[in-house]
Structure 1
Amino acid sequence: MEKFYSGFAEPLAFTAFRVAIGAMLVIEGYPKIMAPMAQIGFVENLGFYPGWLWSPMLAAIQFFGGILIVLGLLTRPVALANGVMLAITLWFHVHFPYGHAFLTPDGIAALKAGSGFFTPEAAKRLADGGTAFLEQVQSKAEIASLFWTGGALFYAAFGGGALSLDRVLIKREF
């Protein structure tokens, strides 16, 4: 069984997780690479100036870095850059939560007046203005950010693995 695990299962799992991390970055980075200046205000609000520099740079790191991670090429430096970016995302989610409710008192009154448009479960979830819903969204955002940050930093620490272009082209895990 040792040969099965060390020669097949471990490299396959290592590669599958690397592909998942990289693919997520590509999927999330695609809209940003299509509109590279769209994040200028956001990055400047985080304190990264000038936004015209950081917005396209972050889009490129995420999209093209994701492709390189999928391929296992230049894995460590690219995963480190993405890990830092994702750690900032995690920090953002923790320090700037979604808020307490997205419905105003008028919105809650409108919801109650038109409750026939909602399932009982939806009406119950929105009766507090969406507070419980936003708490769930906030929790998922923090957990997802922690997971993806950890995944990127994992590959920054350990490289692309046995089934990577780093191993084929450079003859080591870079």
Structure 2
Amino acid sequence: MANGNRLIIPALGGLYGALAPLADLIVRVTVGFLLIPHGSQKLFGLFGGGGLEGTAQFLASTGFTPGLFWAVLIGCTEFFGGLCLVLGLLTRPAAAAVTVFMAVAVFHHWPVWFWPQGGLEMPLLWGLMALSILIRGGGRFSLDAAIGREF
């Protein structure tokens, strides 16, 4: 490798070097694509979601009032924020919104750790991924770069 590190599997050095420029793109697009269905559940009732009404009722029952406000805000953050991350458009503002949303989710799920028991591990993971994207920006392969912003 060009940085002088000794690889554990030297035969893969060429592959690592070839794929390294795509690493940020892979993470950004994957995070975006995985957020979109969650927003679709909340906004449109797709994928077994409750739509705005069901999500608003659920959120109000957990202390997030007014429920409709939070349902729209969270649904839009996931759906449109995810779409922005996929496209690399307004990448840093979208990642910032997801980071803040997930920080709230972490505190809401505190102190339980494991996700199957309603814990914080998944919001923490999502939040740290969004924070990483916020720090790195859209990257070379983004609409932000194509228009000369946030690169």
TM-score range, shorter chain: 0.7 to 0.9
Question: Share of identical aligned residues, percent?
Answer: 36
TM-score (norm 2): 0.75
Q: Partner letter of residue 23 of structure 1?
A: F
The structure 2 residue matched to 1:154, chosen from 123, 132, 138, is: 132
Which of 66, 73, 86 is equivalent to 2:89? 73
Q: Does 1:23 align with 2:33?
A: yes
Give the whole-Å Cα distance in 2 for the aligned partners of 1:81 and 1:56. 13
Q: CA deviation at 1:156?
A: 1.6
Unaligned ranges ≥5, structure 2: 4-13, 45-50
Alignment of 1:13-162 (within 5 A): 13-34=23-44, 35-95=51-111, 97=112, 137-138=116-117, 141-162=119-140
Q: Does residue 129 of structure 2 align to residue 173 of structure 1? A: no
Distance 2:128 2:28 in 1: 12
- Give runs of ≥4 in structure 1 deviating > 4 Å: 3-8
1:12 aligns with 2:22: yes
**Number of the residue aligned with 2:2:** 2
How far 1:66 sits from its partner (Å)?
Answer: 0.3
Please say if residues 61 and 82 of structure 1, whose CA atoms lie closer than 8 Å, have aligned partners that are also in contact.
yes
Q: How far off is 1:136 after superposition? A: 7.4
| 1:93–1:138 CA contact under 8 A, matched in 2 | no
Please tell me whether the aligned partners of residues 37 and 56 of structure 1 are also in contact (alpha carbons under 8 angstroms).
no
Could you state the TM-score of these two structures normalised by the residue count of structure 1?
Answer: 0.66
Provide the alpha-carbon RMSD of the alignment: 2.8
- Larger gyration radius, structure 1 or structure 2: 1
